[in-house]
Amino acid sequence: MTFPDGDDVNILRMSIRAECGLPWRCASGTCGTDRLLIEEGAENLDPPRRRERERLGALLDQGYRLGCQTYASGDVTVSWDPEQVGLDDTSVAGQRLREKWLGGQDTD
C-alpha cells in the first residue's frame, strides 16, 4: 500500500484499510493484540511511545511493535503470529473503528 510522501501512517489503520488481517482489539496500545514483528524498514518508524514500552517491554529490543502505536513514513515489512486473536469485526467497537478509518474521518 502506498501513501503520500511526508504523511505518517498508523500501521494498524493501514492494515484495516488494506484488509491485511492484523489482529487488534482496543486500537489504543492497552491490549497488545496488534503486536507485530518489524522484518524490514525499522528506520522508517517513529520511536516507541510510552504505551508500547509499557506493553512490550523487552520485546521492543527483539523488533516487536504495536500496530496502533507505530507510525511509518516509508516502506516497512511486518509479520505477526497467526495465533493472535483480534476483535471480531461484528463487535460494536470493531464496526465503529472500521467506519471511522475507512470513511475518511481519521484526521487524528
Going from the C-alpha of 52 to that of each of 4, 64, 67, the distances in angstroms are 26, 9, 10
Within 8 A by CB and 6+ apart from 26, the residues are 33, 68, 87, 93
Query: Taking the chain (108 residues) in consecutive chunks of 10 residues, what is each chunk's mean pLDDT?
Result: 62 86 85 92 93 90 94 90 69 64 56
Please tell me the pTM assigned to this model.
0.75
Delineate the domains of the chain, giving CATH numbers in brackets.
Answer: 9-101 (3.10.20.30)
Q: Give me the pLDDT at residue 82, please.
A: 84
CA–CA dist 68, 105 (Å, integer): 16
pLDDT of residue 15: 87
User: What's the pLDDT score for residue 43?
Assistant: 95
pLDDT at 85: 72
**What single string gives the DSSP state of each residue in 66-96?**
ETTT-EESS--EEE--TT-----TTSHHHHH
Q: Give the per-residue pLDDT at 99.
A: 73
Residue 88 amino acid letter = D
